[in-house]
């Protein structure tokens, strides 16, 4: 069985452009959705999650959860913002309560490439790379609904 997958690649010239893209995605998310954020230090993963938070209309300022592993933001669709940078085993994420949080909110996980064994079958993979003065962002929607939503974003961004 082949898994449905849609990819959108975009170059952003500023944090605001990265956030605007993330906000468009955030508006379309619902409880249980999993966003795997990949890319090197300072790529813009937290910046992207800030945009997601705007789209989800969650409360509280979104800052890096590196040192606390996980932070919850309440809202109409709550957001769990997690970071695998400092963890060495997936058990540490489990102990922090990640599984329960993932069932009750949108989960945005930074450094997700470190723990790809916990990725669900259906998810969004956001890979951010340095690209000249800005960033290159690849959004993959894997599974029927994620692929459809990336398709919508593609339509919205075509002509850019
Ligand atoms: N096009 C862009 N998109 C996103 N961030 C950008 C862009 N151009 C410059 N920046 C800057 O890059 C930095 C990204 O920082 P951010 O904390 O989001 O990265 P990160 O990937 O979460 O890093 P870490 O691996 O430490 O968690 C910010 O200082 C932001 O202003
Ligand atoms: Mg970060």
Helix axes 15-26, 45-56, angle to 10 degrees: 40
Residue ranges of the chain with pLDDT lower than 50?
Answer: none
pTM of the predicted structure, to 2 decimals? 0.97
Q: How high is the pLDDT of residue 160?
A: 55
Q: Which domains does the chain show, CATH number per domain?
A: 5-157 (3.40.50.300)
Give residue 73 CA to ligand 1 midpoint distance, Å.
20
Ligand positioned closest to the Cα atom of 86: 1
Q: How high is the pLDDT of residue 158?
A: 79
Q: Whose CA is nearest to atom 16 of ligand 1?
A: 44
Give residue 38 CA to ligand 2 midpoint distance, Å.
10
Beta carbon of 1 within 6 Å of any ligand 1 atom: no
Give residue 48 CA to ligand 2 midpoint distance, Å.
9
Q: How high is the pLDDT of residue 58?
A: 98
C-alpha 116, offset from chain centre:
14
């Amino acid at each position: 069985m082949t898994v449905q997958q849609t990819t959108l690649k975009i170059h952003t010239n500023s944090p605001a452009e990265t956030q605007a893209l993330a906000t468009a995605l955030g508006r379309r998310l619902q409880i249980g959705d999993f966003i795997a954020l990949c890319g090197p230090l300072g790529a813009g993963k937290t910046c992207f999650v800030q945009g997601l938070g705007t789209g989800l209309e969650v409360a509280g300022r979104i800052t890096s959860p590196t040192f606390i592993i996980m932070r919850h933001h309440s809202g109409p669709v709550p957001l769990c913002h997690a970071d695998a940078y400092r963890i060495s085993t997936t058990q540490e994420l489990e102990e922090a309560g990640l599984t329960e949080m993932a069932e009750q909110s949108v989960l945005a996980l930074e450094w997700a490439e470190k723990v790809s064994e916990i990725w669900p079958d259906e998810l969004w993979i956001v890979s951010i790379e340095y690209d000249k003065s800005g960033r290159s962002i690849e959004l993959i929607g894997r599974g029927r609904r994620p692929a459809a939503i990336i398709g919508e974003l593609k339509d919205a961004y075509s002509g850019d």
